[in-house]
Amino acid sequence: MGIIAIHGGLDTSRENPFLAVLQKAALEGYQLLDTGRTQALEAALKTLENSPRFNCGYGSVLNLNGVVEMDAAIVDGATNRFSAVAAIRQIRNPISVARRLMEKTRQVLLAGEGALEFAKKEGFPEGNCISEEQFKAWQKGKDSLARGKPPSQNLFTGLEYLGDTVGCVVWDGESLAAASSTGGVSLKMPGRVGDTPCLGGGIFASQTSAVVCTGVGEAFIETLTAKYVDERIAEGAHPQQAVELALKRLDEMKGSQGGILAVDTWGRIGSAFNAGQFPVVVVKDGKIEENFTPINLRPVLLEE
């Protein structure tokens, strides 16, 4: 008994090559759910970090200087433990470093050189995180900036197709946990950190719910959107109602797009977005939920 739900990022394609990786990730994570919530989360997100199709790990976007700096976080609602790495470089699986930080230390957040030093000390190999496609996209974006024009590609990925932070939530029949991983925003300032390693902003888990968000990180941080979702569920809202309320609030307060995925202590799932696409895969009791579709609020918000 249990649930694992994973998303591939705001506006990521729902075509088969992308969904196939998401399904593989969810199933691999579910197989470890009996072993532990954080183990399941790590396994699922490592699969996405190892795929160049998603903006995390290998295939992350490049910053202005042509460097990949990644954020990742994991939170366990049952134990109130949280750990994250921010602006980490040269490590293909930041989510594994975040989990190791939780297991080996009492620290909750390491950034930059400190995060890389910890990863190397723990035996994580350094590696190239720049895919050929992302490097070409970075060159194209820099050329546009040099001509005084805004880059034509997507802000979140630097590519012609879209995609953003990936995230995963789990419910093992009793307790909840969540994890996220991201390369951030294309052509971002060096050192920029988004909402992924900000507890309550882009990620949260408690004895009530597990929540992950994707979109403009600064907006989620300033509105504590993930914590807002948890609070609404704690007050009695269904997760679906909670995520829809949160996205409407985000639009009203910041005019920002986003996607949110949540599960509560009864195993109920909420998933909504207000952009082009938001691919989500749900595995319940070991089987993929074939007809699961996130709610698109974009038409509603445009009407309003």
Q: What is the pLDDT of residue 93?
A: 98
Q: What is the pLDDT of residue 155?
A: 52
Domain 3-303, second-level architecture: 4-Layer Sandwich (3.60)
Cα 120 to Cα 168: distance, rounded to the nearest angstrom: 25
Q: What is the pLDDT of residues 223-276, one digit of tens each?
A: 999 999 999 999 999 999 999 999 999 999 999 999 999 999 999 999 999 988
Q: What is the pLDDT of residue 134?
A: 81
Q: What is the pLDDT of residues 61-113, one digit of tens each?
A: 999 999 999 999 999 999 999 999 999 999 999 999 999 999 999 999 999 99
Sign of CA dihedral 34, 79, 104, 166: positive
Q: What is the pLDDT of residue 101?
A: 98
User: Residue 24: how many CB atoms within 10 A of its CB?
Assistant: 15
User: For tokens 């504590």, what's the residue?
Assistant: 224
Residue 154 pLDDT more than 60? Answer: no
User: For tokens 């074939």, what's the residue?
Assistant: 290
Active-site option among 38, 47, 157, 165: 165
Residue 175 pLDDT more than 50? Answer: yes
Confidence of residue 138 (pLDDT cuts 50, 70, 90): low
Residue 285 pLDDT more than 90? Answer: yes
Measured distance between the N- and C-terminal CA atoms of the chain, rounded to whole angstroms? 40
Cβ-contact 245, 274 below 8 angstroms: no
Q: What is the pLDDT of residue 157?
A: 46
214 is catalytic: no
Q: Where are the domains of the chain?
A: 3-303
**Residue 86 host element (H or E):** strand 81-88
